[in-house]
Amino acid sequence: MKESTIATKAMIAILCIGVAVYLAIYFVRGWKQDIATTYAYAYSLDVGREATGILVRTETPLMGSGGYVDQILPEGAKAAAGDPVVLLYSDPSVLTTRQSIRTLETEIEQLKYAQASSTQSVDAAKLDAQVISSIVSLRSLAAQGDLTTLEDSALNLRSMVFRRDYSFGDAGQLSALILDRQNRLAELSRSLNQVSTTVYAPVSGVYSAGVDGWEGVVTPAMLDSLTADSLDALLHEKHSPDPSAVGKLVTGSTWYYAALLEGADTGLQAGRRYTLNFSGDYYGQVEMVLDRVALDGDRTLAVFSCRSHLADTAMLRVQTVDVVTQQLEGIRVPRKALRVETETVTEADGTLREVNHYKVYTVIRSQSWGQEVEVLYTDDSYYLVRPVDPAAANRLRAGDEVILNSSGIFDGKVVR
């Protein structure tokens, strides 16, 4: 009984010692601060100024009378003088006839393709892949809620299915189908011509259905005398389109953007090219030339010009954009990764001066090493930096593991 008691006490003692060692290790680890790290990576940034302005073009409104408008030309298409641009109808049922004509035209085109394919080998797998691709594209547009090209995508899918169905048809059957569709098309076209009015292009230009009433109010001729105050007054004006206008033609090859920027020190220089980021009714970047800069108190007027993207911007008028004044490239690090180290230096006259050095500490093998950097840009959550000496062997590089929140970091410290 006595031996059993001694053995029990020994086991309890060993268990207590084990628990004590475990708790000691736990507390030691708890007092030791683990470092947190992340990875730096290359980053480019557009630094710009916000501007509100108006697009200026040479425009000719298209006038007509009719309750219903049907575009012959798509938005942004070029029209020569005398080309038909718009059809006007007084009866809404004619719109259904017009849609039937478009469907027949597509069917005839696809039947002719199938007829030509019947005399040569047809890659059925390729046609199937095109049908699947059209379905996926249509599904993606519907999921995103993008209806701008939905009609064209649906028509393309129908065309692919139609082409696949008739690719292996009999030549005689295809000829009969083509003749039938052509007869129906001719009949509908005759009925349509009797109740429609065609509007022709008076001059050559780029067609746009967007008429906003600013046509003739702002013109390129007025840009030389435009001031910041007069532009501000224009931006507060309201204009309504002419009820009889059915579209317009942009007749000039160059369009302009007159912008109003806050502040006199914008850093803009006439003659230079700048990138304008549109993010309202049109999403895209447009490279433009700054033709004129005029300071007016605490505001700046800037007039940009461009000879491209005319079809994309033909419907735009008053827009807010970002004018990119500087493009920065560097290494992005979190704000916690940047440390400021102050050094006291002695000037030639014996005075003392404090100099700040900005460093980012990285983990190399198991030690920390500081790389001196220059801050290019400051954000709420990160810094954009670059090495002070870009040729140094131990400079900060994209992909380096940087230290975030460890105190007492110095060169050579073992952190792992």
Q: Give the pLDDT confidence score for residue 190 in this predicted structure.
A: 78
Distance CA 341, CA 372 (A): 10
Q: Give the pLDDT confidence score for residue 189 in this predicted structure.
A: 78
Q: What is the DSSP letter of 370?
A: E
- Considering all CA atoms of the chain, what is the largest pairwise distance in Å, rounded to the nearest integer? 123
The SS3 call for residue 105 is helix
Q: Choose the final residue of a domain: 200, 226, 255.
A: 200
The overall average pLDDT reported for the chain is 84
Q: Give the pLDDT confidence score for residue 101 in this predicted structure.
A: 82
pLDDT at residue 31 is higher than 50 = no
Distance CA 323, CA 259 (A): 10
Q: Give the pLDDT confidence score for residue 316 in this predicted structure.
A: 93
The b-or-e profile of 369-378 (16+ CB within 10 A means b, else e) is bbbbbeebee
CB 291 within 8 A of CB 345: no
Percent residues over pLDDT 70 in the chain:
84
Domain match, 285 and 237 both: yes
pTM for the full predicted model: 0.65
Domain match, 341 and 321 both: no
Mean pLDDT for the stretch of residues 317-341? 93
Q: Give the pLDDT confidence score for residue 341 in this predicted structure.
A: 86
Domain match, 373 and 391 both: yes
Instruction: Kindly report the number of other CB atoms within 10 A of residue 174's CB atom.
Output: 19
Residue (of 43, 27, 36, 12) closest to 330 by Cα position: 43
Residue (of 321, 320, 313) closest to 59 by Cα position: 313
Q: Side-chain half-sphere of 41: how many Cα atoms within 13 Å?
A: 4
Residue (of 173, 197, 216, 254) closest to 60 by Cα position: 216
Domain match, 357 and 312 both: no
* Domain annotation covers residue 323: yes
DSSP 160-186: HHHHHHHTT--HHHHHHHHHHHHHHHH
Q: Give the pLDDT confidence score for residue 115 in this predicted structure.
A: 66
| Banded pLDDT at 198 (limits 50, 70, 90) | confident
Distance CA 136, CA 139 (A): 5
The SS3 call for residue 209 is coil
**Scanning the structure block, which residue is given the tokens 């047809």?**
122
Domain match, 106 and 179 both: yes
What's the distance, CA 47 to chain centroid?
16
First to last CA, the chain: 52
What values do phi and psi take at 376, rounded to 5?
-95, -35
Mean pLDDT for the stretch of residues 105-113? 78
Domain match, 240 and 313 both: yes
* Domain annotation covers residue 16: yes
* Domain annotation covers residue 186: yes
The b-or-e profile of 265-276 (16+ CB within 10 A means b, else e) is ebebeeeeebbb
Mean pLDDT for the stretch of residues 192-202? 81
Q: Side-chain half-sphere of 236: how many Cα atoms within 13 Å?
A: 6
* Domain annotation covers residue 310: yes
pLDDT at residue 298 is higher than 70 = yes
Lowest mean pLDDT among 201-205, 319-323, 340-344: 340-344
Domain match, 189 and 295 both: no
Domain match, 239 and 188 both: no
Residue (of 149, 145, 117) closest to 134 by Cα position: 149
Domain match, 224 and 273 both: yes
More confident residue, 275 or 343: 275
pLDDT at residue 243 is higher than 70 = yes
Lowest mean pLDDT among 149-163, 204-218, 239-253: 149-163
* Domain annotation covers residue 189: yes
Please report which residue ranges of 167-302 form alpha helices under DSSP H: 171-195, 228-235
Residue 407 one-letter amino acid: S
* Domain annotation covers residue 298: yes
Lowest mean pLDDT among 104-118, 140-154, 303-317: 140-154
| Banded pLDDT at 1 (limits 50, 70, 90) | very low
* Domain annotation covers residue 226: yes
pLDDT at residue 42 is higher than 90 = yes
Domain match, 312 and 345 both: no
Domain match, 196 and 305 both: no
- Domain residues for the domain of 353 are 37-43+332-414
**Scanning the structure block, which residue is given the tokens 């008028």?**
317
pLDDT digits (tens, 9 = 90+) for 346-395: 888 888 888 888 999 999 988 999 999 999 999 999 999 999 998 888 89
Sign, CA torsion 256/260/264/267:
negative
pLDDT at residue 4 is higher than 70 = no
Q: Choose the final residue of a domain: 285, 301, 329.
A: 329
* Domain annotation covers residue 290: yes
What radius of gyration do the chain's Cα atoms show?
36
Q: Give the pLDDT confidence score for residue 334 in this predicted structure.
A: 95
Domain of 350, CATH number, reads 2.40.420
Domain match, 344 and 390 both: yes
Q: Choose the final residue of a domain: 329, 349, 369.
A: 329
Domain count, the chain: 4
